[in-house]
Each structure stands twice: as C-alpha cells, then as structure tokens.
Amino acid sequence: MQTLTKPVGLELEQAQMMTGAEAVIQSLLAEGVDTVFGYPGGAIMPVYDALYDYQHFLNHVLVRHEQGGIHAAQGYARVSGKVGVCFATSGPGATNLITGLADAMIDSNPLVCITGQVASHLLGTDAFQETDVVGVSMPVTKWNCQVTKAEDIPAAIAKAFFIARSGRPGPVLIDITKDAQFGKLAFHYEPCQLVRSYVPKVKLDLEQVQRAAELINNAKKPFLLVGQGVIISQAERELLQLVEKAGIPFAWTLMGLSAVPTDHELGMGMLGMHGNYAPNVKTNECDILIAVGMRFDDRVTGDVSKYAKQAKVIHIEIDPAEIDKNIKADVPVVADAKEALQALVEMVHPNDHSAWVNEFHEKRAIEVEKVITQDLFPQKEGLTMGEVIRRVSDHLNGDGILVTDVGQHQMVASRYFQFKKSRSNVTSGGLGTMGFALPAALGAKLGSPDREVVAVIGDGGFQMTLQELATIFQTQAAVKIIILNNNFLGMVRQWQQLFFEKRYSFTEMTNPDFIKISEAYGIPATKVTLREDLDKGVEALLSSDGPFLLEVVVEKEDNVFPMVPSGASVSDIRLE
Amino acid sequence: MIRKYTISIFTENFIGLLNRITIIFTRRHINIESLTVSESEVKGVHRYTFVVKSEEEKVKKLVKQIEKLVDVLKAFYYTNEETVFQEIALYKVSTAGLKEGRNFERLIREHHARMLTVEAEFVVIEKTGHKEETQELLRQLQPFGVLEFARSGRVAVTKPMKRLSSYLKEMEEDQLQLT
Ligand SMILES: Cc1ncc(C[n+]2csc(CCOP(=O)(O)OP(=O)(O)O)c2C)c(N)n1
Ligand SMILES: [Mg+2]
C-alpha cells in the first residue's frame, strides 16, 4: 500500500488544479466522509484510480454486489446519523443500486450515491454500459443529477449532501460522465447551505403547538405514536420529557423502534400488523392520538376507514406532504420533531392517566398469556424464533444493535429484542427488502464499531445477498449473524396457511449447508438444533472477536401473532 | 366531485424536471388533460400549467407531492372560477372548400377568429378561447374541409392577488432560520 500524503478537502491551498475524479474524493473528504461502499467498473475507473492515492484518508469497502454496497451505506447511515456513501459504475452497476435507493427513499435514509457514466459525447447512443440512470432512478431518489463537466463536480456533491441530510432525509444520486472525471478543474469546495427552491423545514407555528397542548391538557385517554422522525431529529429526550410530564402512554412503529427504551413504564410496545395487542386495540379507544415523526403506513393503520375515528389526531411531521395523506390531522404541526416537542413540553400540564395506562396493562396480560409465554418459554419440542431472540437480547442487556431482514424473524425480533439506546434498530421497514440485513449489518458495524451488531436473517433472505460474507471476511467486521432457519419462506407460508387454505405454493426450500458456506468464506459458524445447545451457540456467537455465524433450526410452521389481517381494522387484531 | 383543476407550478429551469413532475401524476393515475410550459414573470423561474380532471382531495395531495420536489419552488391548484385562462387553436382549411366564401367569412367573424395566412391551397385560421369555443368552431369548419387542427394547452393566470415574489420571500425567511 502506498503512503502518499495528500492535502485534504478544505485544508487545500486555494483552487488547486486536479482531475474531476480527484475532486470527487476531495469533495467527500471535505464533507467529512470516512467510509465509502463501492464496486468499480469502466465508467468509474478514473475515480477508483484517484482513490488509490487516498486509501489512508478514505476507507473504501469493496462489496460483492452493488445492492450490498447501498444497503451497507444505509446501515452505516442509520446507526451513525451520517450520510452513507456508495460508488457504482454505469449501466448494470447503477441499476443494481435501484432496490437500495427505493428502500432508502421510503425509509428516509440519507445517502449520496455516485455513479460513473459513459463519456458525454456517447450519451444517447446506446454506448456500452450506457443506461439512463438519472431517468431510471428519478422516482426513487430525493434528488439526482448528471454532471458532464469536471468543474461542476464540487458544487454538485455539496448540493447532494445538503439535500440528502436536511429536512426529511433521503437518497441522492450523482451520475458523472467519464470525461468529467478525466477533465481538469481548479478545486474549491464550498459546503451547500441553501437551495433556493427547497425548504427543508418550515418555521414552527407556535399557535398549532398551543392547540395541540390544549387537546393534550384536556385529554382523558391520550396516546402517542413514536416514529423514526424522533430518531432522525434526535428528539428522544424531548419525547420522554413530554410523555413523562403529561403521563401519556406511547407505542412505536417498526421504524421508531429503539428511539425510547423498550422497558419504559409508559412504553406499550410496537404498533402495526405484527405489533403488540394493547397499542393496536387502544388506538381505537384513545381520545387524543399524537403521532410524532411517522407517516401512518398501511401496515400501521390497517383499514384507514376504521382507524382512530373516535380520536382527535395531532400529527407532528416535518414533511408537509404526509399531513392528511393517509389519516386526517385535526392539529397538524409541520415541524422538526425536536423543535415541536421542545415547545410542546413547556405548554402541557403535569398529568397522570394511570387508570388509562392500566387498561393497556390488562390487554398486555392477555397477550402475555396467549402469545408471549409460548413464544419465549415454549413447552413444545421445536425451537421458536422468540426464544432465540430472548437469549441474544438477555446477553446483550439492551446494548446491542439489531439488524433484521424481512419476514417472520424480522417481526419476532422486533417484538422481543430489548433496546436501551437509540439508533440501535436497522431494518427495511417501508420496502420490506429481503437481502437487506447482511450488508446493512456490515455497514452498521463500520458505522458503530464499538457496539455489538447482531443480524437476524431468515433462510430465504440470507440467500439473496450472502455474497457479502466475503466483504465481511475481508474487512473482518465483527458482525454476528443469526440465521433463523425454518426451511420456508415463512412469512409467505403463514399467509398461505391463514388466507390461502394452506396451499403452500413455492415457499418450501431445500437449503444449502449454511455452516459450510460460512466456513468457505472464512467465517466460523455453528448450528443449533436442540434447545439444550442454544445457550452455548449464543455464547459462541457473542464471545467471538471477529464475525461469526449461528444457524438455529426453528419450528418449520410457526406463525407470528398477534396479527392484524390485511385490510382489517387495528382493533380486530387476532391473537391466534 | 370530479372537476377540472388548473395546477400552476413554479420551478427552476433544469433538465429532466418535467419528467420528475409527470411521474407524480402517472403514479396516482391522474391523466394530464393539457400542459404548457413557459417563463414566468420572475426571471429564471419557469411556469408549468397542467389541467387535470379529478377530485379536490386527490389534487391537493398531488400538489403537495409536486411541491416536495427539490427543484420546485411553489405549486398551487385552482378551480376554473379562480383563474382566467385561454387556449389557442389553429385550423388549416382547404381553399377548395371555400367556394361559398360569404358564409365562411361570417363564421370567422362570429367566432372572433382571424385569418392568419392565405395560401393557394389552404388558409389558416386562428382562434383563442376556451376549449368549448375552439371545439365549436372546429365543428362548424368541418364542412369546409379541415386539413389540420391543433390546440395548445391552457395558459392561465390566477385571480388571487398574492404574487409569486412574496411567496419566494416567505420561503427565504423559512430558509434563514436554518442557518
Ligand atoms: C426481495 C423480496 N422478495 C420477496 C419478498 C416477499 N417476502 C416477504 S417475507 C418473505 C419470506 C421470507 O422468508 P425468510 O427469509 O426465510 O424469512 P422467514 O419469514 O421464514 O422468517 C417473502 C418471500 C420480499 N419481501 N422481498
Ligand atoms: Mg425462513
């Protein structure tokens, strides 16, 4: 490895001449980027060539598929709060990013993706590996643009970072033609602080906050919903101040998970299709519903025509387009959650709603008896996903980062994993992207190297991006991987059982030997099939210094309950 | 209730922005009846005028999604009553069909249309008005032999007196509190 010392970013002498490719790197350094996930190819080779001289300033992680690269960047962004960055070449490299862009868009992850493009004189000629990436990525980016001149690179990157991280965050893509990468410019970097046409957040309307406070002060049965906006705006403390002062029971969405400690005495669990019983039922009994930084996804609301009809709705949300989109707000507060909550805390009166809170506990007891006990302390022979999660969570004592894939294991892990710290849950919520977890866990580990990162993945989803085991091995990122193997596309099988008369159409899998696969990639692994071996397996997993894979064979045909059947009302949630 | 709405969008002048805007319509199955793009009264700001037939609820949500686009400055929707609007239509009519010249000229006059060009084989008529009016003239010109017909999208200005520049000022104030 070369040890060149290069002046970096803002410390550069004024307007140094360099290539567009080098300006890409310098711009990233000026933005404080320390990690990039990427994959090279013809149209982005100049950038990779420039990167060669900057290996000591910028940690580039060579993933094994561009989808892995962008999911890793998402995992990195989600745990660190910083912008995730990835590189890909033109054509197939760029199109491989699309799933991750869609995922980041719907889950509001800040990303800057830089793609190489054919030389500008070839644009529109169907040149080798030419794809209209700006066109293809338009619906799944917050903003995108194509740069065809070297001198436009620094400003484009500055604008990209500003847009990606401000307001409601999202993914931004910059497509840079090869001639722009080769071209020369006098480098000068100016961080972007303003885009005339873009208002990331509006001034807080205190009158609206006052109206919200009045509703809360007069409420008999207030109920608060915590969304990811609380995490993004770092409003965790203000949120707790509000609920504790006014005595408001609350619940979280899948994306809001970990914003507040899961064992908080006013915390009533998770909302939504496979959330907890009490918060779903009580949504249709509260008199004031306070939604903070969430967008009333249909997996949360069920049938909107039967959702919280009896309640007045206060919706605190930074994105004006979310107000009244799915659920009408009686008091909309378009604002950054932190600012709105700071003001609201001052205006609400101290209160206590213990009788109302007890109603949640009564419902909770029913769920404990009918569902939770069987999940966590099963009497039957086969292992349950729930008991595996409980063991892991107990070991970590609320301190770990949980990364989940998509399916039954995701819902079980989200229900039972205990959190004490914010930014500790990474999952594909809005898009439900199988294959997300393994690369996202790698990114999460690199974004939060001092914390234990546990990826919980199904046997199906693991096989969608398992090539990233190689990246994990090469980086030696100490990702702890758990495969909950039911030899089924379990979540789809559950729906087939419940709603398609058990017609198991193409959901059973003959799986490979996951242990051999892991070992072939150089990652130690162990398999547990019996309850008595579970503790040992979990210990091996968590005590390993480097990456480790634990496969647990679980019951083939267990179902996740409670469940709000799709199209049903949240209060028609089923316990079995 | 399904009605006609005029959507006015003020934007930066960037390549590809039209595409970004139209995919918001298509994703929600809202058909675009007409579209016009021009510069606005503010230098460097472009104005898109869309006409759609839809319900107010849907249009309201659509306009919010459009305004959310980074390069869109402002987006509004209006009913017909809230705007003054026109379309322009051109009719190419064969001279062979104009034998009964008197009728033809009277028709043009009655419709407040005008003759734009007269060539050996055809004449071109121009009429400005609402769609029903330009459509009616088309119907009445058909017997003379209409060789070509083209109608523009709607151009519209609005009756409310608040000006774009004051909206832009409000945006600036919101942006200032950020820095
Ligand atoms: C890319 C992608 N394809 C298909 C689906 C539909 N889907 C949702 S859950 C699921 C089954 C997941 O199976 P597995 O990974 O084994 O997890 P399990 O449900 O068994 O825990 C499928 C196919 C999806 N979410 N993502
Ligand atoms: Mg499975």
Note whether A92 and A172 are same-domain residues.
Answer: yes
Cα–Cα nearest to A32, from A70, A80, A103: A80
- Look at ligand 1, atom 23, and give the residue with the nearest C-alpha: A489
Report CA(A434)–ligand 1 centroid distance (Å). Answer: 6
Name which of A414, A424, A372 is nearest A575 in CA terms: A372
Given phi > 0 = left and psi -120 to 50 = alpha, else beta, which region is A476? left
Residues B56, B22: one domain? yes
Model pLDDT, residue B179: 62
Structure-block tokens of residue B128:
């400005």
> Do A535 and A393 share a structural domain?
yes
Say yes or no for a CB contact (<8 Å) between A321 and B178: no
**How high is the mean pLDDT of chain B?**
94
C-alpha–C-alpha distance, residues B66 and B21, integer Å: 6
Radius of gyration over alpha carbons of chain A, in Å? 24
Q: Residue B127: pLDDT above 50?
A: yes
Give the CATH number for residue A224.
3.40.50.1220
Residue A118 near residue A97 (C-beta atoms within 8 A): no
DSSP letter at A383? P
Domain, as residue range, for B146: 85-151
Q: Which atom of ligand 1 is nearest to the CA of A509?
A: 16
Q: Do A324 and B23 touch (CB under 8 A)?
A: no
Predicted local confidence at residue A2, as pLDDT? 42
- Domain end call among B33, B61, B83: B83
- B11 CA: distance to closest CA in chain A (Å): 7
What is the tally of helices (H) and strands (E) in chain A? 24, 20
Q: Which residue of chain B comes nearest to A335, CA vs CA?
A: B174
Tens digits of residue pLDDT in A184-243? 999 999 999 999 999 999 999 999 999 999 999 999 999 999 999 999 999 999 999 999
What is the rounded distance in angstroms from the CA atom of residue A293 to the CA atom of residue A124? 42
Note whether residue A571 is domain-resident. no
A546 in the same domain as A403: yes
Separation CA B143–CA A421 (nearest Å): 79
Question: Could you give the CA distance from residue A537 to residue A526 in angstroms, rounded to a whole number?
Answer: 7
Distance, in Å, from the CA atom of A568 to the CA atom of A305, rounded to the nearest integer, reads: 10
- Of B75, B79, B24, nearest in space to B46 by CA: B75
Token representation of residue A269: 């669990």
Q: In what order do the strands lie in the sheet with B32-39?
A: B32-39, B46-55, B2-11, B72-79
CA dihedral B137, B143, B145, B146 (to 10 degrees): 20
- Residue A97 tokens read as 């990013």
Report the pLDDT value the prediction gives residue B99, as an integer from 0 to 100: 73
Q: What's the first-to-final CA gap in chain B, in angstroms?
A: 44
Q: Which residue among A388, A434, A505, A553 is best mutated to probe the pocket of ligand 1, counting the most ligand atoms within 8 A of its Cβ?
A: A434
Contact B70, B90 (CB under 8 A): no
* B21 vs A: CB within 8 A: no
Tell me which residue in B61, B70, B177 faces A203 most closely, judged by beta carbons. B177
Say what angle helices A337-347 and A236-246 make with each other, to 10 degrees: 30
**Which of B20, B60, B70 is opposite residue A197, by nearest beta carbon?**
B70
A417 and A464 inside one domain: yes
**Residue B34 sits in a domain of what CATH number?**
3.30.70.260
Q: Residues with beta carbon inside 6 Å of ligand 1? A: A 405-409, 432-435, 458-461, 484, 486, 488-492
For the CA of A435, the closest atom of ligand 1 is 1
Pocket test for ligand 1, best of A406, A486, A514, A556 (most atoms within 8 A of CB): A406
CB B61 to CB A325 under 8 A?
yes
Q: Tell whether B109 and B58 lie within a shared domain.
A: no
Of B91, B176, B88, B96, give the one whose Cα is nearest residue B142: B91
What is the nearest CA distance from A491 to chain B, expressed in angstroms?
A: 28
Contact A135 B16 (CB under 8 A): yes
Q: Same domain for A505 and A390?
A: yes
Q: CB atoms < 10 A from the CB of B153, how many?
A: 17
Helices (H), chain B: 17-27, 56-68, 101-110, 131-141, 164-176
* Range(s) of the domain holding residue A238: 206-360
Residues B140, B128, single domain; the answer is yes
Half-sphere exposure of A386 (CA within 13 A, CB side): 18
Q: How far is CA A355 from CA A240, A241, A313, A362, A492, in A?
A: 20, 20, 21, 11, 40
Contact A321 B72 (CB under 8 A): no
- Looking up tokens 């959702």, which residue turns up? A307
Atom of ligand 1 nearest to the CA of A464: 1
Q: Give the count of Cβ contacts less than 8 A between chain A and B.
A: 57
Q: Is residue B168 part of a domain?
A: no
User: The CATH number of the domain where A511 resides is what?
Assistant: 3.40.50.970
CATH of the domain at B136: 3.30.70.1150
- Cα separations in angstroms, A178 against A112, A175, A346, B50: 18, 10, 55, 37
* Interhelix angle B131-141/B101-110, nearest 10 degrees: 180
CA nearest A223: which of A323, A326, A363? A363
What parts of chain A have a pLDDT lower than 50?
1-4
Q: Which two tokens stand for residue A255?
A: 């994306």
Tokens 């990690």 correspond to what residue?
A35
Q: Alpha helices of A81-205 — where are they, by DSSP H?
A: 92-95, 98-106, 133-137, 153-165, 178-182
Residues A22 and A165 in one domain: yes
Res B98 pLDDT > 90:
no
| Cα A366 to Cα A131, A250, A454, distances in angstroms | 55, 19, 30
Backbone angles phi, psi at B16, to 5 degrees: 90, -10
Reply yes or no: is the peptide bond before residue A562 cis, omega within 30 of 0: yes
Q: Which residues of A are designated catalytic?
A: 66, 128-129, 178, 491
Rounded to the nearest angstrom, the minimum Cα separation between B134 and chain A is: 36
Beta strands in A369-436 (DSSP E): 401-404, 425-427
> Which of the listed residues A158, A187, A216 is the one where a domain comes to its end?
A187
Q: A202 to chain B nearest CA, in Å?
A: 5
Residue A491 CA, closest ligand 1 atom number: 19
Is B101 exposed, middle or buried (CB count within 10 Å of its CB: 0-12, 13-18, 19+)? exposed
Q: Are residues A167 and A20 in the same domain?
A: yes
CB A448 within 8 A of CB A80: yes
- The amino acid that residue A467 corresponds to is Q
Report the C-alpha gap between A271 and A284 in whole angstroms.
12
What gap in Å lies between CA A316 and CA A293, rounded to an integer? 6
Does A199 sit within 8 Å of B72, measured CB to CB? no
If you search the block for the tokens 């899961």, which residue do you land on?
Answer: A262
Q: Tell me, yes or no, whether A344 and A399 share the same domain.
A: no
- The sign of the CA dihedral A498, A499, A500, A505 is negative
Strand, helix or coil for residue A138:
helix
User: Which element (helix H / strand E) includes A313?
Assistant: strand A312-317
Whether ipTM tops 0.90, in short, is: yes
Phi, psi of A411 (to 5 degrees): -70, -40
User: Is the domain of A99 the same as that of A181?
Assistant: yes
Nearest CA in chain B to A159: B70
Ligand nearest to the CA of A493: 1
Ligand 2 centroid to Cα of residue B24, in Å, is 36
Tokens of residue A246, six digits? 């006014």
Q: How many domains does chain A have?
A: 3
Name the residue among B23, B174, B175 with its Cβ closest to that of A139.
Answer: B23
Q: Under a CB-based contact definition with an 8 Å cutoff, are residues A64 and A468 in contact?
A: yes
**A interface test, pick of B46, B71, B76, B175 with most A CB neighbours within 10 Å:** B175
The answer on A437 and A470 residing in a single domain is yes
Closest CA to B168 of B66, B40, B48, B81: B40
Residue A310 in 3-state DSSP?
coil
End-of-domain residue from the set B62, B83, B104: B83
Whether residue A145 is contained in a domain is answered as: yes
The answer to whether B110 contacts chain A (CB < 8 Å) is: no
Looking at all shown ligands, the one closest to residue A412's CA atom is 1
- Mean per-residue pLDDT, B136-158: 95
Q: Are residues B59 and B89 in the same domain?
A: no
User: Radius of gyration of chain B from Cα atoms?
Assistant: 20
Determine contact, residues A36/A87, Cβ cutoff 8 Å.
yes
Q: How many domains in chain B?
A: 2
How many Å apart are CA A166 and CA A112, to the nearest integer?
13
Alpha-carbon span A369 to B114, nearest angstrom: 84
Q: State how far the Cα of A103 lies from the Cα of A111, in Å rounded to an integer.
A: 11
pLDDT of residue A3: 44
Residue nearest to atom 9 of ligand 1 (CA): A407
Of B71, B173, B177, the CB nearest to A197: B71
Please report, for residues A267, A542, B42, B56, the alpha-carbon distance to residue B62 in angstroms, rounded to integers and kept in the order given.
Answer: 36, 49, 24, 10
